[in-house]
Structure 1
Amino acid sequence: MSESTNQSNEQVVVAVSRTVKAGHEAEYEAWVSKIAGLAAQFQGYMGANIFRPSAGSRGYTTIYRFDTHAHAAAWQASSEHAQTVAEVAHIIEGHESRNIMSGLEVWFDQTNATSPTP
């Protein structure tokens, strides 16, 4: 199997981080549940995890898991996704951060690590 074929068949993690404007956390919480439910309607969806901000922060990260790159790309390119993301643009500070990973990269990516990599 070629590397490109293997990559297209690997499970994919899409990590999306956003900073919510102060006072809009409850609105964002309702929205993030909505978008995770919408993602569940797409082929290949394997689940989502929502990481809420630590004390003194307003940064949320949502992790979506899909069975293939094609299914993850279909979700991200869908009109449903674009329309739902647009619903919260007014309560987001700055730009969202989106990271797409697959294979061992999911386990060993140290981009946001706070401690040194072994």
Structure 2
Amino acid sequence: MTLVIQHKVRSGTLGQYEGWLRRAVKAARHQPGHLGVNVIRPDGGGDTFTTVVRFAQASQLQAWIDSAERAALIAEVQPLLEEGDHPLVYNDAEFWFTPFNSYQPPRWKQACVTFLVILPLALLVPLLWQPLFKLQPWLGGYVASNVVITASIVLLVVYLFMPAATRLFSGWLRAGGTQ
């Protein structure tokens, strides 16, 4: 699960906001199920920060959102913000291709990035499982081996490679769109 927060920082409060942001990121990292935080700073001269916080389960994300610690942090930062706190919750599959500016890339670009992520895994993952399949013939059967291989690819795509690929190709995914 992914929490995306956008903050438009008031003029003259950038230093205070940066200090607050460091404390907020540290607090989020100590929460159960936390998988990572990315902070996207404003482009040249901008004032909107986007923070992406990932959690393993929806219940863990909701616990962080509802926590007294987060409520205190939000109350502390409110005077530094132009438009308040704007949290949005996405499941990871939705978030892969939903840029922060609400621009949805064309499906052909989404398909290209997905292909580039899945093809190498589809070629490599079965080879990596082969030694275990030879040691455990029941696991190497048609159904069992396909379940293991498919589950491995899906988990690697969702939790590791697709978030990284989306960040890597973010400029290309947004190119040509209204931003």
Q: Which residue of 2 aligns with 1:82?
A: 71
TM-score by length of 2: 0.56
Count of residue pairs brought into register by the alignment: 107
Higher strand share: 1
Larger Rg: 2
SS for the counterpart of 2:106 is: coil
Q: Which residue of 2 aligns with 1:66?
A: 55
**Fraction of identical pairs, as percent:** 28
Name segments (4+ residues, structure 1) moved above 6 Å: none
Within a 5 Å distance, the mapping from 1:3-82 to structure 2 comes to 12-82=1-71
Structure 2 residues not aligned, in runs of 5+: 108-179
Structure 1 residues not aligned, in runs of 5+: 1-11
CA contact (8 A) 1:36 1:48 kept: yes
Alpha-carbon shift at residue 95 of structure 1 (Å): 2.8
CA RMSD of aligned residues (A): 1.7
